[in-house]
Chains A and B, each alone.
Chain A
Amino acid sequence: MTTSNHRGLTRRELLSRSLVAGGSFLVGSSWITSGSAAWAVEVTALKPETMATLVQMARDIYPHDRLRDEFYVVAVKGHDTAEQAPMVEEGIAALDGAARGKGHSGYLGVGWEADRVEILRAMEESAFFQTIRAGLVTGLYNQKEVWPLFGYEGESYSQGGYINRGFNDINWL
């Protein structure tokens, strides 16, 4: 695979360029897909397995069952840089190590969310965990594409506000 540099892309470009939706996926040395092949992303600095574990970790930190993996991929993709790779590789290795210590094959091999969360709780004070968690707060919730899934409508100025569009339309009180 070519080592295309995705740094400097906007989130929206990233979303459209780095994700291959709907099962049509490429697998090369730097591509990673989900088990269900619902998404695929090219990694540039991280090992593909590391990215896959990072995406699961992201979901375990802020689990929203109605959000597909794509959103978590976009939320953590910023860590896929040469600068951050050593820190992330080390952190994920520690995560896998902790899982193995509990008799699993690795973090991705832990079947129940509660068991993965137990592993995360034990490392939540670490700089690695805090970096990933803090990055997710904006990386995940500031994606305009996730807003509708929470019902949030974003700006309304372009539509003249809500004065004629339901600012007081509550009907169940």
Chain B
Amino acid sequence: MVAKYDLSDDSVVVIIGTGAGGGTLANELAQKGIKVVSLEAGGRYLPQDFINDEWESFGQLAWLDKRTTSGDWRVARDFSGLPAWIVKAVGGTTTHWAGASLRFQEHEWKTLTHYGRVDGANLLDWPIDAAEMEPWYALAETKMGVTRTGGRPGLPGNSNFLVLEKGAKSLGYQDVHTGNMAINSIEYDGRMSCQQTGFCFQGCKWGAKWSTAYTEIPLGEETGFLEVRERSHVARIEHDAQGKVTAVVYFDADGQEQRQAARIVAVAGNSIESPRLLLNSASSMFPDGLANSSGQVGRNYMRHVTGSVYGVFDKPVRMWRGTTMAGIVRDEARHDPARGFVGGFELETLSLGLPFMAAFLNPGAWGREFTSALDNYENMAGMWIVGEDMPQETNRITVNSDDVDQFGLPTPNVNFDDHPNDVAMRNYAYAKGAEIYRAVGATQAYPTPPYPSTHNLGTNRMSENPRDGVVNRWGQTHDIPNLFVSDGSQFTTGAAENPTLTIVALAIRQADHIAREMAAGTI
């Protein structure tokens, strides 16, 4: 029985967003018998609805509301209205994601301690550590069916992986395998195993890849405690004279303004929308936005040091066949400043279809140099760089006071400049990627610039001291005890690993905390 709550019911927990963070939190709370209303801006699409065509799928799922960009990153030039490639749908970006699910390395929880001060970077230790997170990671891995954990077998490697593996091993890399993937290598949790169709980025039509859209959300709904209101776009969060949040105002599917009362509000709209919402909720009591006494809301925006390397060979690879990201080289993920930068990076297999390759290989480029690369599309192998980028206070989400979206809400601007450490890491990684492919006979290697951000992190950072960040060790805002942040915007620093496993682990842990505090009557 799917729950249905009254707008005036002020005993519910309202969660904004149903992606990795919000979708997980909703189910975890519902499993504990806590009443939850999930408000999701997007519509509901299930595996049968996904479209295995890059642009059509993009049109179906991508978040395309107006955004602006600034800063020296190339995305601001090539895709000025599209800083991020993320999703507006039930399930959020877990519909699009590739499934790579890695734990942080121990030192990455404490980067200020391990890296020391880095000029221009706002490094800070997380208030939690690897030992504390260990059991939550294990729960997240079980929930998501992560391969090569909990006795689950790895995925078989596709041709794109076999090229990466051979190249990497011939350079002496050792930690090379088909990844820790939230993609079923065997039937698991009532979902079938990967059929190697490719198109992991467009939604898995077999349901082999974990997505909150068809795991957490329906499981939560089955409990009778979770009501999901789709096509409900939250405009602002309201509070009372004591400074506690009391309600959430949103536009429903018909564009009508509604107000849902709440005992607790959890924000999980991904790292651009979450700070935007807090900023757009400014009031006379909180003139700089909710939970912003530190001034850190929207700051320290991180997107990982990314980039791709495509190698061209004299014979076919057909990299698009099979699981998109089931292949990894982990040897460079360590912290080793001798390489000329702090932090590390992972190399993971990646492929784009021809339409996206044309758009993203070298945006804006034209002429024979560009087309000769595409002419060799069938003979290409591809890898993605994902490394730790430096949090910087000036890399931030702000709201444009003179520009509004379809609901009349101020639009977000994303300002980003690469830190010199980011540039050094990317260049080093490009060179290593090219070496890997050359070791197996590549005749060309293309250092491809970062795409619009798929990993968006850090804009409501977690801190021990309320002066340094927005939320505490539980994702609870320092300023407002019944306001939580439950997505990747909590990240204090980004680590080298793809973020979603950590987002999910934090959400499971947060649900435990919220249930405990509710029972104790403290919130």
Residues of A within 8 A of B (CB): 60-64, 66, 113, 117, 124, 133, 137-138, 140-142, 146-147, 150-157, 160-163, 165-170, 172-173
Other A-B contacts than A163-B194, A168-B162, A170-B318, 15 sampled, CB-CB below 8 A, are: A64-B371, A137-B359, A141-B354, A142-B355, A150-B375, A150-B377, A157-B199, A160-B195, A162-B158, A162-B322, A166-B321, A167-B159, A167-B196, A168-B322, A170-B159
Question: Looking at the complex, which one of B55, B156, B316, B320 makes contact with A142 (CB distance below 8 Å)?
Answer: B55
> Whole-angstrom distance between the alpha carbons of A40 and B372 in the complex?
27
Say which one of B97-105, B249-257, B362-370 lies at the interface with A. B362-370
> Whole-angstrom distance between the alpha carbons of A154 and B321 in the complex?
10
Q: Which residue in chain A gives the minimum CB-CB distance to B52?
A: A155
Within 8 A of A (CB), among B396-454: 440
| A156 & B354 in contact (Cβ 8 Å cutoff) | no
Q: Pull 7 A–B residue pairs with CB atoms less than 8 Å apart, ordered by A.
A: A138-B359, A153-B318, A153-B321, A154-B52, A156-B198, A157-B199, A161-B195
| B166 & A61 in contact (Cβ 8 Å cutoff) | no
Total number of B residues with any Cβ neighbor in A under 8 Å: 43
Between A62, A142, A167, the greatest number of chain B beta carbons within 10 A of the residue's beta carbon is seen for A167
| B162 & A157 in contact (Cβ 8 Å cutoff) | no
Given known pairs A141-B355, A151-B316, A161-B195, the reply for A61 and B163 (CB within 8 Å) is no
Q: Which residue in chain A gives the minimum CB-CB distance to B360?
A: A137
Given known pairs A64-B371, A64-B374, A173-B166, the reply for A152 and B195 (CB within 8 Å) is no
| B197 & A61 in contact (Cβ 8 Å cutoff) | no
| A169 & B159 in contact (Cβ 8 Å cutoff) | yes
| B205 & A168 in contact (Cβ 8 Å cutoff) | no
Min Cβ gap B166→A in Å is: 5
| B196 & A161 in contact (Cβ 8 Å cutoff) | yes
Within 8 A of A (CB), among B150-205: 156-159, 161-163, 166, 194-199, 205
> Whole-angstrom distance between the alpha carbons of A142 and B358 in the complex?
9
> Whole-angstrom distance between the alpha carbons of A11 and B198 in the complex?
25
Interface residue? B378 (CB, 8 A): yes
Q: Chain B residues with Cβ under 8 A from A157's Cβ?
A: 52, 197, 199, 205-206
| A173 & B440 in contact (Cβ 8 Å cutoff) | yes
| A170 & B162 in contact (Cβ 8 Å cutoff) | yes
Q: Chain A residues with Cβ under 8 A from B159's Cβ?
A: 167-170
| A162 & B196 in contact (Cβ 8 Å cutoff) | yes
> Whole-angstrom distance between the alpha carbons of A60 and B374 in the complex?
15
Interface residue? B353 (CB, 8 A): yes
Between A137, A161, A165, the greatest number of chain B beta carbons within 10 A of the residue's beta carbon is seen for A161
